Amino acid sequence: MNSRRDFLFNGGLGFGGLALGSMLANDAQADGTRNRNPLAIQSPDVPGTAKNVIFLFMQGGPSHLETFDEKPALVKYDGQLLPEELRDSDLAQINTADSQVMATQFPFGRHGESRLPISSLFPNLSRHADHLAVVRSMHHELFIHGSAMIMMHSGTRLLAHPTIGAWVTYGLGCESNDLPSYIAMTDSVFRNGASMYSSGFLPAVYQGTPMHAEGVPIQNLQRHPSVDSREQRLLLNQINAWNQQHLAVRPGDSRLEARISNYELAYRMQSAAPELIDLSSETKATRELYGIENGSADRFGRMCLMARRMVERGVRYVQLISAGWDAHGNCKGNHQSQAAKTDRPIAGLIEDLDQRGLLDSTLLVWVGEFGRTPIRQGSNGRDHHPYGFSAWLAGGGVQGGKVIGATDDFGFHAIEDKVHVNDLHATILGLLGIDHEALTYYFEGRVRRLTDVGGQNNLAARLVVS
C-alpha cells in the first residue's frame, strides 16, 4: 500500500535504505518451501566445519610472485627476454614477444613447523604459517578489474547476480538478533558500488549491509531527531499491526513475515550497530594486536577487530576490502605500502580468533581479483594476470601449513590442481556444509546457483583436518 510507504518515509523511522528497501523489495521471494522468515536459521545440508566467513579481499590484484608463490626462475632470468618457448604464449592481452622478466621484489622465507614459503612482506602473518593453506593455482579468464571483481564475488562476469555473502545468508540464515547476517566494509570506497555486496536476483533481504569503521556505522539507521524512542515504538507497532492484518487474509505469504521481522531487526540495530564499532571496551593489548593507533595499519586494524566482534555476535558473513594493490609501476613500493596496512591486522585477527576459540568455526579467505605478470611493465611494475595467482584459507576446520596447486616456473599458468573461482566458491560453501549444486534459486526461466554450471568442491578433501 502506498499509504503505508508514505507513512514510513514521513514518520521519521529513519531506517531508510537499510531496512525499508529490503522489505518492500522482498516481493521476489522464491517458492513457499522456505521458512516464512527468510533470515531464520537454516540447517546446512551436512555438518560443516565452519559457521562464519571473513572474506579478506585485496582489491587491485596483489602479485602472487611477491607474496605466496616463490619463483627462482624470475631471479635467474631477471632483465632478460622470456625463454623462446614462452614468447608465443596464447595469454590474452599480455605482450610476451619483447617483454623482460622481472625478478621477485622480496625474498621468501620458510615459516612455521610446516616451513611454508611466505615473502618478507608479511612478517606478522608469517608467524601463523601453520594456520594457512595457500592455493597457488587460482585462475579465471578476466583481465579487467571491474569484471574480475564481480567474478570473484559472484561467480560470474555479469552484473546483477548475487554475491557469495548473499548466497550464504540465503542458505544458512542469520544467527544474530541485533545485526545483519552479511556485513561489508572497505578502507576506501566500494569500487563497483553495491555490486560488491549485492543480493542480485535474490530477495533484497539477503543483500550485504555496508558499514563504516568510524562515525555513523550505518547510514539512514537512526530515527529522526523529531521522533523520540516512545513515538518510534508506537509507529513501529502500528506498522506491524497493519502487516499482521494484511497477513491474516493472505496465509502463507512469506513476504509479510519477512517485513515484520526485519523492521524489528532494524529497530534493534539502532543500539547494536553503534555498540559494535565502539572499541573502548577492548583492552590496550587487543588494540595493539591489530595495529590500531599504529600508523597505516590503524584503519584496516579497526575493520579486522570489528570483524571479530561481528563473528562473536552472530554475523554470518563479513567482507573486508583493502584497496590499492594495483601495481602497474613500482610494484615493490606499492606492495610494501599495502602490506604495512594489512599484515599486522590480519595476523592479529587470526591470533585473536584462535585465543577466543573462534578460529575453528570461522573461515578466513584471502584473495584479490587476479595476480600480476612475471614480466616488467613500465617502471618496475606488473600488469594484471588472471591465468594463475594465489589465495589462502585458514580456520573453519582448514588444515594449515600446506600448499595446494602450482603455476609454471614463471608464474604464467596454473598447471597443477587448478582452482577456478567457481571451485573456490563451491569449496567455501562446502566448508559451511552447503552443497553448491543444491543451493539454487529460480530466476528468469531457469534454476540459478552461485557456481552456475561449473564449480567443484575439489579443495575440501585437501583442506579439512581428517
pLDDT tens column, 221-231? 555 566 666 66
Q: What pLDDT is recorded for position 14?
A: 40
Query: Which residues on neighbouring strands pair with residue 186, listed in sequence order?
Result: 321
Cβ–Cβ contacts within 10 Å for residue 302, how many?
Answer: 22
Grid cell 539512514 in the structure block, residue: 220
Mean pLDDT for 179-207 is 91
- Residue linked to cell 567455501: 428
Indicate the pTM of the whole model.
Answer: 0.86
Average pLDDT over residues 7-13: 39
Query: What is the enclosing helix (H) or strand (E) of 12?
Result: none
Q: How far apart are the first and last CA of the chain?
A: 55
| Average pLDDT score over residue span 348-358 | 98
CATH architecture, domain 40-214+272-463: 3-Layer(aba) Sandwich (3.40)
CB atoms closer than 10 angstroms to residue 314: 16
**Of residues 244 and 282, more confidently modeled:** 282
CB 169 within 8 A of CB 437: no
Average pLDDT (183-208) is 91
Check whether 421 has a pLDDT greater than 90: yes
Buried b (16+ CB within 10 A) or exposed e, 139-173: bbebbebebbbbbbbbbbbeeebbbbbbbbbbbbb
Give CA–CA dist 151/454, Å, rounded: 13
122 has a pLDDT exceeding 80? yes
Q: Report strand pairing: 52-59 vs 317-323.
A: parallel
pLDDT of amino acid 378: 87
Confidence of residue 454 (pLDDT cuts 50, 70, 90): confident
Dihedral angle computed from the Cα positions of residues 132, 137, 143 and 147, in that order, rounded to the nearest 10 degrees: -60
At residue 273, the 3 state secondary structure works out as helix
β-bridge partners, 392: 134, 366
- Identify the CA nearest to 373 among candidates 69, 84, 121, 102: 102
Question: Is residue 270 over pLDDT 90?
Answer: no
Measured CA distances, 89 to 80, 83, 92, 127, 382 (Å): 17, 11, 9, 38, 17
Domain definitions of the chain by residue range = 40-214+272-463
**Percent of the chain whose predicted confidence (pLDDT) is above 90:** 65
Average the pLDDT over 306-324 and give the result: 96
